[in-house]
Structures are given as C-alpha cells and as structure tokens.
Structure 1
C-alpha cells in the first residue's frame, strides 16, 4: 500500500504532466487549474515577477501567440514532498513551429516549482524559470543542454 507521501508525489507529477498537456494543446483553462490563484511567477520574460494566475496565463498567451505549434519537454524532474507543501526542479524546453513559419528547437531553462496542497489538490504557488548568464558579457546563455 502506498504511503501518503507517495500518493502526493504521484499527484504532483500528474500536475506537471497537465502543464505539458495544457501547453501543447494551448489550453489556458487546463493551465489555470494547476496554479494557485495567488501564484507568484519568476518567469524568463520581464518584469521580475508576475503575480496572480491572470498574470501567469498572460505569459502563456504570449507563448501561444509566438508559436503556431508548441511542445514542452521536462527532464530530470526531482520532487521533495511534505505534508502540505512540496517543491521540485527540472529542466524544461519549449520548442515547435513559430507563428512566422520556421521551426525552433527552443532553449533549455532551469525550472523550479513550489506546490501548496489545497482543497482541490496540489497547486503551484510559485514557479521560476531561468537561464544561466555569462558574467563577462552579462548575457543569458541559451544554448546549454542537460
């Protein structure tokens, strides 16, 4: 019989799968269901933080405008699960066919998710996506692979 921690980890992994499915289907409603209403997101695009689910969904809307067809890959997902909070990190990559025609392999980002257990399950309360930067040039390094 699985422990509560194992059950919770499986549910969180399902939420990550739902993010991938929502992105690939360009389904904002599906994505909305994985975020807490007060989510704080430190995304790769300005500003420094996006507060609330509407702001997070605006980021996804921008992605969906940029891509005609989009896919999202998650690698090396690691989770740490507690009673009502959990965190995880992985590498993620958006790729696909751009709205203006060409295909792109995208870039790998470092992703961190912080989950909070609520009445309706595990929701993302905070996320962060980042790329390393070159200190000498001050520019992001976007050609690294896990």
Structure 2
C-alpha cells in the first residue's frame, strides 16, 4: 500500500471512531462515549476542572455533564479535519454543544481537538480538549460567538 493510501485509510478509520463518539454523545450513552478513549486519556474540558487524568477521572465527569441537561445531547461538529499517519492522528473542529435546560434548548460553539493512537488495530482517543474563548477584560466566556 502506498503512503497516501495508508494515510487515507487511517483518516477514514479515525472518522469512524469520531462518528461513534458523536452518536454516543448525542444519546447520552456514557459507556459508548468512554469506549472511544484510551485508559490513560488526558482531557482538558470546558467544565469544572483544568485537567482530567485517565478514564477513571474523565468517566464520572462525562456522567455529570450528561445529567446537567435534559433530552438528547447536541453535538454538531463543523468541518472536522483529520490528519493521520499509520498510528497517530488528530482531529479538530468547532462543535456546537448543549442540550435542554429548564425546558429551553441551550447551545454554544466550542473548540474541540482529539488526538488518537492506534494500538492493536484500534484507534483510541488519548487526548481531548474542549474550550470556549473568553473576554480578557471581563473574564467571561464568550458562548454567543458563531463560526
């Protein structure tokens, strides 16, 4: 196989894992979400803590986030971009995230990055980062920005 074919195959495989992650997040299937991560994942999420080390820390955080909102989760990526080689890949995009709170749908655009490694033929997320920009003067997150 040529290096271009290997790269295209790896990118397609990572895209499939990303779609699995999205599908699970949208129906709040925390076990399905967590199946996409390596045990040693390091995550920087926009909620609560600066850093989560390992699936044992990140799993309860995902459960907490899924319980915050009613209804299905809203996870809508805009133009995900994947770069991969045989065993390492990263994906970045803007993601519209949210759900229902107090009978009202609330969402905001977040910046998202996931880094994947292939081990034993399976791609797993080893690093994830979600964030929202903020106003330096007020210190408030800018949740109303649009792409």
Could you tell me which residue of structure 1 aligns to residue 135 of structure 2?
134
Equivalent residue for 1:73, pick from 69, 72, 76: 76
> CA RMSD for the aligned pairs?
1.6
Instruction: Provide, for residues 79-131 of structure 1, a one-character-per-residue CA deviation record: whole Å limited to 9, x for no partner.
Output: 11122111111011223323xx3222311100011111111511100000111
Provide the residue aligned with 1:32 in structure 2. Answer: 34
Q: Report the CA distance shift for 1:46/1:95 in structure 2 as closer, same or farther (over 3 A).
A: closer
Where do 1:2-17 residues align within 5 Å? 3-17=5-19
- Long gaps (5+) in structure 2: none
Q: Does 1:97 align with 2:100?
A: yes
TM-score by length of 2: 0.90
Q: Is 1:145 matched with 2:141?
A: no
SS in 1 for 2:62: helix
Q: How many residues align?
A: 144
Secondary structure in 1 matching 2:137: coil
Matches within 5 A, 1:109-124: 109-124=110-125
1:41 paired residue number:
43
- Structure-1 separation of matches of 2:81 and 2:26: 22
Counterparts of 1:120 and 1:59, CA distance in 2: 28
